[in-house]
Amino acid sequence: MTKPDFMMQTFIRCSQDALWQALTDPDQMAAYHFMADKVVKEGDTFITSMPDGAPLFRARALKITPQTRIEATWEPQWEGGGAPSKTVFLIDAEKDCCRLTVEHYDLTFPVVPGEGVSDGWARWAASLKSWLETGKPMKMGMPPAP
């Protein structure tokens, strides 16, 4: 089994159904995504856009196991965003919360803690957690480049 280029876990106080809905419903995805405000589903593909309408990324479902696993492409749409890669979301129910594991494979650039993809996933997970636990997302964008 190939090791992911990036992996993170978070624990969210919510039901498995609520987390599944948040990961698969375009309206919820747009509500909690830390940078985007529009997500459109076309067939098996989610298209995520920035507030100014510029495309952010596309994700096409590759394999889904309802309530527990989503494998998808991750295709950056911004200039210099890198080549398409693959993401996996794993959901495990644990009493009154869920453990969400995010794995990212086939990245064509180095993963640097606190920067780029690592920082983006951390911000995404924080906003998702806030959304599910409080009903309020954390729309914070990315920090300006140094």
Question: pLDDT, tens digit, for every residue of 21-68?
Answer: 999 999 999 999 988 989 999 999 999 998 898 889 999 999 999 999
> Model pTM?
0.91
Summarize the confidence of residues 126-142 as an average pLDDT. Answer: 89
Which of the four pLDDT bands, split at 50, 70 and 90, describes residue 114? confident
- Gap between the Cα atoms of 35 and 32, Å rounded: 9
Quick one: tokens of 137? Answer: 């997302």
The sheet with strand 55-65 has its strands ordered as 6-12, 97-105, 85-94, 69-76, 55-65, 45-49, 38-42
Question: What residues contact residue 37 under an 8 Å CB cut-off, 6+ apart?
Answer: 30, 49, 50, 51
pLDDT at residue number 73: 96
pLDDT at residue number 143: 60
- Gap between the Cα atoms of 136 and 69, Å rounded: 25
Give residue-wise pLDDT tens across range 63-95.
999 999 999 999 988 877 778 999 999 999 999
- Gap between the Cα atoms of 99 and 114, Å rounded: 21
- Gap between the Cα atoms of 30 and 34, Å rounded: 9
pLDDT at 144 over 70: no
80: Cα separation from own chain's centroid: 19
**Domain regions of the chain by residue span:** 6-134
The superfamily CATH assigns to domain 6-134 is START domain (3.30.530.20)
pLDDT at residue number 142: 62
